């Protein structure tokens, strides 16, 4: 599932590739991915609009249009965005939405399982969505003290708090496991019992692993592709996620995989994560 590094990679690619591009056509092949807009009206909303910039909020790719509207794409499990050279080229497998650009290229939203969403929203609608999301972990305001305050306000497992998008935006299962391993913190510890030093270590670990993954253009196990259709390279650098049953790279003890913490696969070392 694309998390912060993957959606950040897509957003940076699109900002470079399509900023300034004008939408001249809109084809909806799978209307079930649409939200807050329908197939009958989406062309009216988008055709003739210019893409001003592309950026990321939480796990959402945001395309700002010149009239104040925004396209929001939430890839979820298998969604991706691609730029192709010819807007009249044959439909790609799993293609859901095609935006033809004035320069002859096309911006595509593809989704194998069609669990992601493609929305068109007004400024007010976007503000409502934005208000439900927590602080960005790459924001300079995300300090150890800020994270400590977030953790102290919850008696849930620390891993669950890290993944709560209302508190910290963009962190998902992969990078929660990685950050907790780097910080040496058991994912099942109560968040409100972590010390200020624990919070600082976890903040540094989370920012470090997210930044490193962005540098490697994200993590691909099977489906994730960037806007160029290429795989992310960070999977080879994972220290915890996906390593259940293998030796811990810090202490050599056998890594644990469990679904008991939050229903997802959690990977950790019970010897050196306390």
Given pLDDT bands bounded at 50, 70 and 90, which one contains residue 222?
confident
Q: Provide mean pLDDT across the span 93-112.
A: 97
For 253-266, the pLDDT digits (tens) are: 999 999 999 999 99
* Number of separate helices (H) and strands (E) present in the chain: 7, 11
Residue 191 is given by DSSP the state G
The pLDDT of residue 38: 95
Considering Cα of 159, then 161, then 166, then 167, what sign does the dihedral take?
negative
Given pLDDT bands bounded at 50, 70 and 90, which one contains residue 226?
confident
Asked if 264 is an active-site residue, the reply is yes
The pLDDT of residue 227: 82
- 106 closest CA partner among 41, 16, 20, 26: 26
Asked if 3 is an active-site residue, the reply is yes
Q: Provide mean pLDDT across the span 101-112.
A: 97
Is the pLDDT reported for residue 224 higher than 90? no
Is the pLDDT reported for residue 112 higher than 80? yes
Active-site hit among 189, 254, 264, 271: 264
Q: Which residues of 142-156 are buried (b: 16+ CB within 10 A; e: fewer)?
A: bebebbbebbeeeee
Asked if 257 is an active-site residue, the reply is no
Task: List the domain boundaries for the chain.
Answer: 4-131, 144-268
- Average pLDDT of the chain? 96
- 238 closest CA partner among 271, 203, 210: 210
CATH code reported for the domain at 4-131: 3.20.190.10
The pLDDT of residue 223: 75
Q: Which CATH class is domain 144-268?
A: mainly alpha
Instruction: Please name the helix (run of DSSP H) or strand (run of DSSP E) that holds residue 258, with its range, or none.
Output: strand 256-258
Going by DSSP bridges, is the β-strand pair 95-101/256-258 parallel, antiparallel, or unpaired?
unpaired
3-class state of residue 251 by DSSP: coil
Reported in sequence order, the residue ranges of 45-178 that DSSP labels E, i.e. its strands, are 51-57, 60-65, 70-74, 79-84, 95-101, 106-111, 117-121
The pLDDT of residue 13: 96
Active-site hit among 45, 49, 56, 59: 59
Considering Cα of 56, then 60, then 63, then 68, what sign does the dihedral take?
negative
Least confidently predicted of 44-53, 93-102, 114-123, 216-225: 216-225
The pLDDT of residue 211: 98
Is the pLDDT reported for residue 124 higher than 90? yes
pTM of the predicted protein model: 0.94
Q: Which residues of 160-185 are buried (b: 16+ CB within 10 A; e: fewer)?
A: bbbbbeebbbbbbbbbbbbbbbbbbb
Using a pLDDT cut of 90, give the percent of the chain over it: 93
């Amino acid at each position: 599932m694309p998390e912060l590094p993957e959606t950040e990679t897509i957003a940076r690619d699109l900002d470079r590739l399509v900023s300034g591009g004008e939408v001249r056509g809109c084809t909806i092949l799978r209307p079930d991915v649409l939200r807050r807009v329908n197939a009958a009206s989406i062309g009216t909303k988008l055709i003739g609009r210019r893409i001003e910039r592309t950026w990321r909020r939480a796990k959402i790719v945001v395309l700002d249009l010149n009239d104040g509207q925004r396209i929001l794409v939430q890839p979820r499990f298998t969604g991706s965005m691609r730029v192709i050279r010819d807007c009249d080229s044959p439909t790609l497998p799993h293609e859901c939405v095609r935006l033809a650009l004035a320069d002859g290229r096309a911006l595509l939203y593809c989704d194998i399982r069609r669990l992601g969403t493609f929305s068109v929203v007004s400024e007010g609608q976007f503000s409502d969505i934005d208000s439900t999301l927590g602080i960005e972990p790459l924001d300079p305001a995300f300090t150890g003290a800020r994270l400590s305050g977030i953790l102290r306000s919850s008696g849930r497992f620390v891993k669950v708090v890290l993944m709560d998008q209302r508190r910290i935006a963009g962190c998902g299962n992969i990078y929660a496991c990685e950050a907790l391993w780097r910080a040496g913190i058991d994912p099942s510890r109560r968040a409100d019992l972590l010390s200020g030093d624990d919070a600082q270590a976890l903040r540094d670990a989370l920012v470090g692993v997210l930044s490193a993954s962005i540098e490697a253009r994200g993590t691909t196990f099977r489906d994730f592709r960037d806007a160029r259709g290429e795989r992310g390279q960070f999977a080879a650098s994972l220290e915890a996620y996906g390593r259940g049953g293998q030796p811990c790279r810090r202490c050599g003890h056998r890594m644990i995989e469990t679904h008991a913490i939050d229903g997802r696969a959690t990977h950790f070392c019970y010897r050196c994560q306390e």
